[in-house]
A and B are shown apart, each in its own frame.
Chain A
Amino acid sequence: MADSLIIAGREFRSRLILGSGKYASFELMVKALEASGTDMVTVAVRRVNLGDRTKESFLDHIDPKKYHILPNTAGCYTAADAIRTAMLAREVLDNNWIKLEVIGDERTLFPDNQGLLEATRELVREGFVVLPYFNDDLIVARRLIEAGAAAVMPLAAPIGSGLGIQNLTNLRILREEINEVPLIVDAGVGTASDAALAMELGVDGVLMNTGIAGADDPIAMAEAMNLGVRAGRLAYKAGRIPRKLYASASSPLTGAIE
């Protein structure tokens, strides 16, 4: 597969990963996933609603053979909770991949890096493929890689904020310094140009949820993100022109009529 995204030895055609939350209906979610071209979708782990038996289950709508299911530890504020959630997630589909979130603050949903590192170490020891969400800190990234993370996922901006990449400089540094595992931007993407910009910087992939699910027309936005990620990737690989302060004529300087 040409230019595929490879995480823990597994190939993905698409460099866009989607979350499955906040959709108005399962039907809409399925269509958005389709339009996005994604190969991988994150899911949360929650109690079965025993009181309301009419509620359909996520797996009724998403075929694990078509999409790689990536359980997450959304809503976990401690390493212990995240580890426990990951273990439960693994039991559902015998799938040892986990998108690890250990949250440190309710308003910003910024990660608790200490808890994150602890949980990463423990889950790697338990044989999980760990994809941690963190802030764009190079040192934390290195620690996560040392701990055995299969990819590192810096936030562009707070989850659901739609602000796009807030710290371009940091992200560029991360891209230059990290080559052991894929670098995937996660959180804060608002529109297609945000995703394209991330890919133009050379990151390996983008993960988003609210940017699509919260759009007026999620299916159209999913397609936009699909194109944005692909455009950004192509542009990155094409090798852009340098930025110059002054003009550089495109037409020959000689042979003009006088």
Chain B
Amino acid sequence: MTIVVNGDQTQIAEGSGISDLVKSLGLVTERVAVEVNKRIVRRADWSSTTISEGDRVEIVHFVGGGEGDCD
């Protein structure tokens, strides 16, 4: 099924959960936070939260940044 991750269309298997998605993207669990359709999903709930067709997922992490910069 098609979902949108960080603004880009992505294909994932039906019934995938957030844990599956994070793993398939090769990300370190402890370094990221996840939002689905603008609602934060706590790490403890990742394995029990499934993703649906068309869901918009945001996966963020910390980057170097002081004030105001956007890069």
Contacts and interface: CB of A to CB of B under 8 A. Distances in A.
B66 A20 contact: yes
Contacts, number: 128
B11 interface: no
B69 to A, nearest CB: 5
Contact of B67 (A57, A69, A101): A101
B20 interface: no
Given A47-B60, A87-B40, A42 B70 contact: no
Given A47-B7, A88-B40, A109 B67 contact: yes
A159 B68 CA distance: 7
A53 interface: yes
B46 to A, nearest CB: 11
Question: 7 smallest A-B Cβ distances: which pairs?
Answer: A19-B66, A44-B65, A209-B66, A91-B33, A20-B64, A43-B62, A21-B66
B69 A21 contact: yes
A47 B33 contact: no
A133 interface: yes
Contacts of B28: 57
Given A19-B66, A103-B68, A210-B66, 20 more contacts: A19-B65, A19-B67, A22-B66, A42-B67, A43-B65, A44-B64, A46-B65, A47-B6, A48-B25, A50-B5, A57-B28, A71-B62, A74-B66, A74-B67, A74-B70, A88-B33, A89-B62, A92-B61, A93-B30, A209-B66
**DSSP class of A's interface residues: helix, strand, loop or mixed?**
mixed
A15 B2 CA distance: 49
B7 to A, nearest CB: 7
Interface in B15-55: 25-28, 30-35, 38, 40, 42-43
Interface of B: 5-8, 25-28, 30-35, 38, 40, 42-43, 58-71
A120 interface: no
Contacts of B70: 74-75
A165 interface: no
Contact of A187 (B8, B26, B67): B67
13 contacts: A43-B62, A43-B64, A45-B63, A46-B63, A47-B58, A50-B59, A57-B62, A75-B68, A88-B33, A91-B40, A91-B43, A93-B62, A187-B67
